[in-house]
Amino acid sequence: MKCDNRKIAGLLLFVGLAQFILTQIVCETIYPDYLVGQQVISDLGNWGLAGNFAAVFAASSILLGVFIIAGAYFNMQGSKNRGFTALLAIAGVGNVMVGVVAENVIPSVHSLFALIMFVSWAVAALLSYKLVKSPFSYVSVTLGSVSLLMLVLSLLAQRVSPSFALSLGMGGLERLVVYPLWLWMLGFGTYLMGKSSCPAEMGTSG
């Protein structure tokens, strides 16, 4: 039964993120003059910039958050690592709030939940090292570390000097924060779905 819960968790994480990625591609295509390097992902949900298309992006973001929270719940049923599960759930809540509160509605609230989402998601990727076998355990640490490093550079670029953006633009730099997390979640979801046997305990620490 524990393995069944993990498979459900993996499916929820994979499907939730897949629909969001596809939605983002569509939104970037129909958004007038959207510049990936210069504009952050949240601009796709900005009602003042994207118009009614912002509703599509917001709904997809909320749906992703709900799927992550549900995935965290089912993962908790098959694992005793509550620290990892809590971080995953927090990332889900962050996604929901980023979708509910657009960047042009209450910028400070949107930015706060985006930051909480990024940090909790990246740390969850790092902690998953204890839950999976190599080589994916090393991939998880690498992706989580890259995301956190890029997040630090992004914050420095916003608050200290634009030079910390490394000529990537804020949009390009933000994607180097987000894309590693997406790769990790797709991989982790696939890993959970592909488990064919039930170990005695998965991730007992935390």
Residue 16 confidence (pLDDT): 97
| Burial of residue 34 (number of CB atoms within 10 Å: 0-12, 13-18, 19+) | middle
Provide the CB-side half-sphere exposure for 35 (13 A, CA).
7
Q: How confident is the model at residue 112 (pLDDT cuts 50, 70, 90)?
A: very high
Query: For residues 40 and 90, what is the distance between their CA atoms, to the nearest angstrom?
Result: 22
The whole-angstrom separation of Cα 55 and Cα 47 is: 8
3-state helix, strand, coil in the chain (%, to 5): 80, 0, 20
Q: What is the pLDDT of residues 148-205, one digit of tens each?
A: 999 999 999 988 988 888 888 888 999 999 999 999 999 999 999 987 455 544 444 3
pLDDT tens-digit readout, 69-106: 999 999 888 677 889 999 999 999 999 999 999 999 99
Per residue in 33-79, pLDDT (tens digit) is 888 888 899 999 998 887 888 999 999 999 999 999 999 999 888 67
Residue with the bigger pLDDT between 125 and 165: it is 125
Amino acid symbol at 185: M
Please choose, from the candidates 2, 17, 51, 58, the residue with its C-alpha nearest in 3D space to the C-alpha of residue 179.
17
Task: Name the residue type at position 172.
Answer: G
pLDDT reading at 20 higher than 50: yes
Q: Which of 117, 8, 16 is nearest to 64 (CA)?
A: 16
Give the residue with greater pLDDT, 62 vs 4. 62
- In this prediction, residue 194 carries a pLDDT of 87
**pLDDT above 50: residue 206:** no
